[in-house]
Structure 1
Amino acid sequence: MIAWVRVAFAGIIICLASLLLMPWQLLALRFDWRLRRYLPRYWHRIVCSSLGIRIHVHGSPDHRRPLMLCANHSSWMDILVLSAVADVAFIAKIEVGGWPIFGTLAKLQKSVFIVREEKRKTGQQASEIASRMAAGEIVVLFPEGTTSDGNRLLEVKSSLFGAAAMAIPPAKGAFVAVQPVAVAYTRVQGLPMGKYHRPIAAWPGDVEMWPHLKEILRHGAIDVEVAFGDAIEYKKDSNRKAVSATIAQRINGMLVNMLRGRAPLT
């Protein structure tokens, strides 16, 4: 009974916030107002609060631009959490655009949808990412390419860093700052989550959305740690595989420390 009351309360708050903010976001997208960049942050903060997601941040996004954040990915909640922390846009596979609810939210946040299998569209997609980053927007990439069980970092795909390489400005010595970010779900109702309870937060691809959302609302309070590591300068002569390996090592180091209850080493 308590779970359903919590679901109803969260639903009412989220609906009210959406009714208030969504028309402004649609207008901001239509006329490309700067409002479109930071309005989603307020909506996501309201949603996180309504769902009982408590965010603890270590560090901050790098001040340099262009900036690409590379984060591990274990749940749909990662989108809410990162959007609540900073004004970001996401690089998402084209299929996400057709998903119910999440596809709409991704479009409202003006995510960049990419078709990995069609190389003829690579230049166009990279051009959009580059122009967005050149305009000062922070773009988020999930280099694992899929969601994990929340207990580990999956293999990082170096090919996905091609977007950063193509976004490097033409000026001599120019670079894209690529910053590792670790997102770890650590506590539920104030108690350490541990490997056994991590599925409460983690959302591998074979788990249905609605039962997972109901489970989160039933537990009521989930703590998530977000750590920003030291950024790497990705230059024209940088080795993509070396950059991806370094980023993966830093993400994994921060993730493991936070899952063990230690301070992240950035």
Structure 2
Amino acid sequence: MNPWLPTSPCTPHHCARHHAPAAGRARTVARLVTGAVTVLAGLLCAPLTLPLGRPARRCLTRLWCRAVIRAFGVRLRVRGTATDGGAQLVVANHVSWLDIPLVAAVLPGRMLAKSDVRHWPVLGPLAARGGTFFLDRDRLRALPGTVRDLAAALRGGARVIVFPEGSTWCGRAGGGRFRPAVFQAALDAGVPVRPVRIRYEPAGPAAFVGDDPLLASLWRVAAVRDLAAEIQVLPPVPAGRHTDRRSLARAVEHAVAPAPAHVLAPAHVQAHASVHVHASVHVPAPRGAAAPGRPAHTAVASDSANRPSPSVHQCASSIPAAASSRRTPS
């Protein structure tokens, strides 16, 4: 494990445990099969959407991802207004592999992920088909080029989704600092940043942390009788409000930090959500700001699981391309 990569104290043994009612083996298997079939159907039909415009493709992506989420037995509630505006950098806290279809079900766009995700069963093809940017986290020199690619996509009107904590956190006791590298893309492209807050109830089954195997996590999610997910779309941070990536990252981190605990409403809320929640959510205490006084060149682009090297997404420290490839403490 690289000591400079962001990590969290979350582990499957402590954080994935839960006492939620089980769905039963037959229902769990049915959910896994249905989820895989739903993903495969979307992949096979995706080429048919190529002649369509971006708004139509985004609408179909929303429907597909919501169907995938529901197939795994997860109920979704959307809070806030998810407008289908122009280019923006969507930034969310990171709990699980489930965050990927969850965000895409509300704000579909091109995601930033570590290269290993391309080879995941079920989710790998889903990510690749969605135009994901893949970053080899072991090649530090690739990060500046990736940031340039993100900025180019944003300038072209795309929506880009990142998880800048650099690792997954179970959501029980706060989260990680937002690494600033990817925020440079928003500054270079002159686009707003859209913060997004993700919660699960119960928190344990959804948490994909530490060295948790993907297949074990898929089974755990499908095996819960009632797993609820909430995604809250927060007001955007306008372009130009912050002039450097570190202050922008801190501002967005504060916006995404958990709000006071509340109870998710029954399943009739928000007409635009295709699936709803009827369970309560456990919300951890707010986390603090990033520590000041860090080297100006150090930043981490994230889309990563909490496994310093084999993680859900990607995470790497950012330094100028001409500098040494040795990672800088974060």
State the TM-score bracket (shorter-chain normalisation): 0.7 to 0.9
Partner of 1:149: 170
2:196 touches 2:233 (CA, 8 Å); kept in 1?
A: yes
3-state SS in 2 of match to 1:65: coil
Instruction: Say whether 1:184 aligns with 2:199.
Output: yes
Instruction: Say whether 1:136 aligns with 2:151.
Output: no
1:165 touches 1:235 (CA, 8 Å); kept in 2?
A: yes
1:67 touches 1:138 (CA, 8 Å); kept in 2?
A: yes
Offset at 1:28? Answer: 4.3
Among candidates 13, 18, 25, match of residue 46 of structure 2: 25
Distance, in Å, in 1 between the alignment partners of 2:282 and 2:23 is: 31
Partner of 1:91: 112
Partner of 1:171: none
Among candidates 187, 205, 219, match of residue 210 of structure 2: 205
Distance 1:75 1:8, change over 3 A: same
Offset at 1:122? Answer: 4.2
Partner of 1:158: 180
Offset at 1:42? Answer: 2.1
User: Where do 1:6-45 residues align within 5 Å?
Assistant: 6-28=27-49, 34=54, 36-45=57-66
Structure having greater relative contact order (Cα 8 Å, sep ≥ 6): 2
Name structure 1 gaps, 5 residues minimum: 169-174, 187-192
3-state SS in 2 of match to 1:245: helix
2:79 touches 2:230 (CA, 8 Å); kept in 1?
A: yes
State the number of aligned residues: 244
Distance, in Å, in 1 between the alignment partners of 2:26 and 2:86 is: 44
Partner of 2:270: none
Name structure 2 gaps, 5 residues minimum: 1-21, 263-280, 285-330
Distance 1:177 1:9, change over 3 A: same
Distance, in Å, in 1 between the alignment partners of 2:169 and 2:242 is: 32
Letter in 2 for 1:98: H
1:51 touches 1:220 (CA, 8 Å); kept in 2?
A: no
2:23 touches 2:224 (CA, 8 Å); kept in 1?
A: no
Letter in 2 for 1:239: D
Partner of 2:92: 71
Question: What's the CA shift string for 1:170-229, capped at 9, x where partnerless?
Answer: xxxxx211011110113xxxxxx3xxxx22111103112222222222222111111111
Letter in 1 for 2:75: R
Partner of 1:104: 125
Letter in 1 for 2:175: L
Partner of 2:81: 60
Question: What's the CA shift string for 1:72-112, capped at 9, x where partnerless?
Answer: 00111111211222322211122322333322221011111
TM-score by length of 1: 0.78
3-state SS in 2 of match to 1:148: coil
Partner of 1:126: 147
Percent of pairs identical after alignment? 25
Distance 1:211 1:130, change over 3 A: same
